Structure 1
Amino acid sequence: MGESFPMKSGDDSHSYSKNSLYQKLASDTVKEMIQESVIKYLDTDKVTSSMGSTTIALADFGCSIGPNTFLAVQNLIQPLQTKNLEFQVFFNDHFSNDFNTLLTSLPPERPYHAAAVGGSFYGRLFPRNSLTIAYSSQSLHWLSKPPQGVNNEAGIHGSGAPEPVARAYSAQFEADLGCFLDARAEEIVSGGLMFLVMPATPDGLTQTELSALFDFYGYSLMDLADKVLCSLKLQTFYFRKHILFKNRNYFHFDPLLKIKKFYFRKHLFSLNVQGVVEKSRIEEFNLPIHIPRLGEMREVIEKNGCFRIERMELTNPKSKVAGPLDAANVVTHMRSAMEGVFAAHFGASVADQMFDNVVPMTPRIADCFKALHHISNQLFVVLTRK
């Protein structure tokens, strides 16, 4: 169920295991919040009694290949280690995930039994009432598939896109999250907990660092399409003017606006000679990623009806960093997470060139990150199974 675009496997310079520092930063930001919630909301006596076992079963949905999943598991287990309990941890991801790297990287002195579970988390993976704690970090913004039948000539993703495109992305996210919640509602015991950590779009904004980076991916692809310029046929392009956020005194506009104007002017003339990639291939491509708002999350959770919302708030992992994010490092790190989806559509060679093209754009990306540094754009959710 769903398309599979695993993080880059192995341990080379572009692998996820070597390029997941920012995902770790996201997890570190909510570490204390997770441990406080485990202590406050999990009644281990009640849960173990209903399960007829002193074993606490945890599952990380979308674990990738480490090392962050091991840190997350430790954060969940640590508040419970003073009790006479055993722990069984299930590491879940798509079948195409590099489970060999994951399992060979397990901490040798771990206080839990470990097992890998392959399959899409948008469907059932475990028996009924078999899990005590479910956890998912930096995974649920990946859709099971891009929205279908979407004409998104203005970009390759849904953030800040024209209204029909934005609605299609939102509808696909709501359907996918509904499937995820339905499956977990079957698997998690009454009184069990679920923790969700993921990128989010604050109300009033259309742009985050992640969506801005996706814009640059789109520019890079257009550069490859226009590698050979030999036509005088005029094309018409449209660009979006984003209001980033507002308060009583100021309007703050999209820091990418000048960059977008530059690139759209650059692409006014279409090609009669085929470039590195055909424009039609770009126009039919949509990233299977949606960065939701709090209201979207709350609506789907409440519609499901099986979980009680204990906490739902935005956090800012960037507050742990001195100054804006290092754009060059982010570009390198994101390649390990995103390369698979671009290679699947355009081929490995084009994906390679696209990511290489983004590197010279890092000064502009850095300007954008600086403008967005103060924005809290990570969602933290704690749910209790009713």
Structure 2
Amino acid sequence: MLDNEFYISRESKASLVSLICPKFAEHSTEKDTMRSLDELRELMRTLGIETGEEYIQNRKTIDPGTILGSGKIEEIANKAKAEGSTILVFDCELTSSQIRNIKKISGLSVVDRCHIILEIFSEHARTKEAKIQIEISRLQYILPRLAGFWSHLGRQKGGIGVRGGEGEQQIELDRRIIRDRIAFFKKELKEVEKSRIEQRKKRSKKAITAALVGYTNAGKSSLMNRLCRVDVLEEDKLFATLDSTFRMLNPDTKPPMILIDTVGFLSNLPNTLIDGFKTTLESAMEADLLIIVCDISDENFEKHLEVTDNVLKELGVDDKERLVIFNKKDKLNDPIKSRIIRRTHPDSFV
């Protein structure tokens, strides 16, 4: 379904684009912008796409047509082409008109942060429920941006970063197709949810449940593997886990406890993906205990805890009993840091 147009070629090279603007959330300071760009670069690595230079502009206000202004876009495009890039990746969410305008000025393919995350989600989803929810999110993202992705809809091989052929324009037809598919997948999702609710009821009668929650790549899957002596996929990548995984901690405990590994959180999460996150995290909402896992070796660990807390509040489970575990102590370069954290977070485990 529109895969040729939406797919980002893994053979492409991408230049990253951002800004520092006091009126732009998550980019109001240089520190916020650099942290977000580092995360975007990690997202690109997870997707397997080579990245080039980062281009950042200080602005008092955002240009409504191109974010940075046409002159700056042209300057960035020339530098990006010189280093062999075929894509400009913006570390924010772009509208259809912004995508179209930037493409016209730059002569390059243009994608945003949300597009990158959706590509990763599509690759990593394993269960039927996760695949359906991600497809709904993907279609909801595409729908208002059809005109921005292309002006002539070809059905030849291609993709973002690869020049495809031109064909007859049929945006309105594709809009109807997308709306129909969204309705179809939402109906399917309800059926899958009924089955999941029944499974959850059965689990709740047999054991106590504890959900591992926290920022993406904090080491939740690794912790589950060690505690439950299982082999859940663990990778040093963002969003390696997208589906909730259930494993028995120790069948001999009274009562037994089931650990739930959940999708990791992310700052500056696009609105298109928030509902998808809520669906995937419903298992955490039903858990008896929340185990918050935080990567102590990351210099932004306090921000990660803040994001985690905000997501839990949004899910309505911030008053649930919780335990904080600081992970990856072996990667700490500063031995005093763990002592300081024990003082600032006295009820946590390092």
- TM-score, normalized by length of structure 1? 0.29
More helix by share: 2
TM-score (norm: length of structure 2): 0.31
Structure possessing the higher relative contact order (Cα contacts under 8 Å, 6 or more residues apart):
1
